[in-house]
Amino acid sequence: MYSRMLVLRFPKTEVENPIVCFLASEFGLTFNILKATILPRKEGVMVMELSGKRKDFNKGVQYLKKHGVQVQAADRDIKRNTAVCTHCGTCTAVCPTGALSIKRPEMSVEFKEKKCSVCGLCIPACPPRAMEVRATGNSILQ
C-alpha cells in the first residue's frame, strides 16, 4: 500500500466535476479529504491523503493531471516547539484531524504528527506561537 499527502489545485473549469470520486471507482484508490476550498466557477484547493497500489496511484495522478489538476506532494509539515508550548489546549479546538489532543489526566497537549493534515489552523490559534511550519521541499508529482 502506497500513501501520500497531496495538495490538489483545481482549475475553475473542473471544480464542479466529480474528479476525485473517479480515483476510487476507476483506480481503486482510497482518499481522505483533510481540507478543501472548492467554490463554483472559481479555482479550488484540496489537501488529501491518497492511498492504494503504487501503479494505481500513479495512474490516478496522471488522470488528475489530464483534467488540469495541479498535483503536489505536501511540501511542508507542522512542528510543535515544546519549549514554548504552555499546554493551554487552544490548538486542539481547531485541529480537524485530532492530531492535537489533550492527554488526560495530565492535561497536557499531545501532538501526533502522522495524523496532521498540514492545514495550518493551529498556527494562528496558538497563543504562545508554539506551532511552526517547516518546509520539506516542493515536489510536483510527475
Report the chain's C-alpha Rg in angstroms. 17
Grid cell locating 65: 493531471
> What phi, psi does 124 have (nearest 5°)?
-75, -20
Q: Which pLDDT score is estimated for 80?
A: 92
Render each residue's pLDDT in the chain as its tens digit; 142 residues. 888 888 888 898 887 888 889 999 999 999 988 888 877 778 888 888 899 999 999 999 999 999 999 998 876 678 899 999 999 999 999 988 889 999 999 999 999 988 887 778 898 999 999 998 876 654 544 4
Beta pairing partners, 108: 103
- Give the CATH architecture of domain 77-135: 2-Layer Sandwich (3.30)
> Sign (positive/negative) of CA torsion 130, 134, 140, 142?
negative
Residues of the chain within CATH 3.30.70.260 domain(s) are 2-73
Q: Which pLDDT score is estimated for 134?
A: 77
CATH 3.30.70.260: does it fit domain 2-73?
yes
Tell me how many degrees the CA angle 120-126-132 measures, rounded to the nearest 5: 50
User: Cβ(19)–Cβ(9) under 8 Å?
Assistant: no
